[in-house]
Amino acid sequence: MFEFFSIEQYHAQLRERTTTCRQAVEHFLQKINAASHLNAFVDVYADEALKRADELDEKRNAGETIGSLHGVVVGLKDIIAYKDHRLTAASKILNARPGERNERCFTSIYSATATKRLIQQEAIIIGDCNCDEFAMGSTNENSAYGKVLNALDETRIPGGSSGGSAVAVQAGLCMISLGSDTGGSVRQPADFCGIIGLKPTYGRISRYGLIAYASSFDQIGIFAKNISDVAKVLEVIAGSDEYDATVSQKKVENYTSILSNNQNKKYHFAYFNEALNHTSLDKEIAVSIKKTIEELKKSGHVAEPVQFDYLDYIVPAYYVLTTAEASSNLSRYDGVKYGYRTKEPVSDLTEFYKLNRSEGFGKEVKRRIMLGTFVLSTGYYDAYFTKAQQVRQLLVKKTEDIFSNYDFILMPTSPSPAFKIGEKMDDPIAMYLADIFTVMANLVGCPAISIPLYKHSNNMPFGLQIMANRFNELPLLQVSNQLMQAPDAS
């Protein structure tokens, strides 16, 4: 019987001929079918995944050189392009309808750079993962395909917006998956699902082929169950790209080969008492993280509080800026060339656009478009958008100051463990405030990771968030690996 523990172990099995890529794909297809009620996948590419597996088995058996992700089974969030496959951002505006396909359903005409690089290194794309519509949400309840369920407790949300990608890894439906993180959409579902979620530095991974929510915040992220798999995937998909002017030209480090270096290195950690004593933070989460901080000190690390006066300004600044960018990015969806088109009779083009967008977009997306349009409007631009940009610059400066003295910042990932389905749907403000600990990394563009170290008294997992300076993914992965291999922190 096939079992997956890590890419390294899987590749060892392939070399020893104790398994094959076909057996791996068949295993995951069976798991996906058995767990279909979780609603993690919106499209499963069963036939082509099996065909690809057979091709890879034939190549390997012929003694040819294999790729670094040979036979690795991957799920993609439904906002990452895969040529000739449906791409809908879980939105009716792109004709995302369960079980239905028609001539107006959008099919991608190219693959995202991240997708291409996975395939070049011989990964197998097994399917398209559910998400909040246009990546706007923290619960994966804002999807035209319906909500995703947390596999550990099906009455609870998996987090969002990359909830399907997180559950796909959590429930063992694929080996690794890709999501996107605009304000915590990889780290928060990783936290709720008890897995690892990495948001790299802004510009570390090309955004070409990623449907835009907020272009100066969006970053493709990685879900996995161990740090070595995260490192291996990041090594493949990171790096410069002629199709993305915002991607970094910095050399991609060999994360995998030097991941275990510096295992005994002592680091300088900063943390914010303003965060750990915040009224929104669950008491058990606060106690667990404080315990970890004390254990780090006992192990010879430096862990010190740093005054941080901007915590309550982070979420307002984030939502002003991201909704402003979203209102611009989503203006292209009008129902003219593809996607949803109203069946109501119309008398002019303006009415046609209004009906298409009013009927095609979901409630949360419309809320954010309207908010973004408002903050960019004449008379309010300086009061909201300009002020939020100024807050962003203050945060960048403060973060630079912290990282001039410390290697990492320790934070909670979320104020609470996974909450019940529907619990916060009627209170958008409470939902937005739940992002209080994750949006900082997106505002300043630094890498951040959520690692599963703890278990709540309600039996749900929660993690520790670690932030590092820009392009310091290697030390971030190294310290995460070190912490996850330490004695149980819970």
3-state helix, strand, coil in the chain (%, to 5): 40, 15, 45
| Token reading at 74 | 């991957």
Reported as half-sphere exposure (CB side, CA atoms, 13 A), residue 185 has a value of: 30
Taking the C-alpha atoms of residue 307 and residue 402, their distance in angstroms, rounded to an integer, is 10
Dist. CA 464–CA 23, nearest whole Å: 35
Which H helix or E strand runs over 392? helix 387-403
CA angle 238–39–89, rounded 5-degree value: 50
Assign residue 61 a region (left: φ > 0; alpha: ψ between -120 and 50; beta: otherwise): alpha
Is residue 185 annotated as a catalytic residue, yes or no? yes
Judge whether 490 counts as a catalytic residue. Answer: no
The H-assigned helical ranges of 17-159 are: 21-34, 46-61, 113-120
- Name residue 463's beta-bridge partners: 452
Look at residues 318, 313, 470 and name the one whose alpha carbon lies nearest to residue 399: 470
Q: Is 177 a catalytic residue?
A: no
Catalytic residue among 91, 108, 161, 450: 161
Q: Is the peptide bond before 161 cis (omega within 30 degrees of 0)?
A: yes
Of the residues 77, 92, 116, 424, which is catalytic? 77
SS3 189: helix
Distance, in Å, from the CA atom of 233 to the CA atom of 120, rounded to the nearest integer, reads: 12
DSSP 382: I
In angstroms, the CA 224 to CA 451 distance is 10
Given 185, 288, 327, 480, the catalytic residue: 185
Pairing of strands 461-468, 268-271: unpaired
Residues with catalytic function: 77, 161, 185
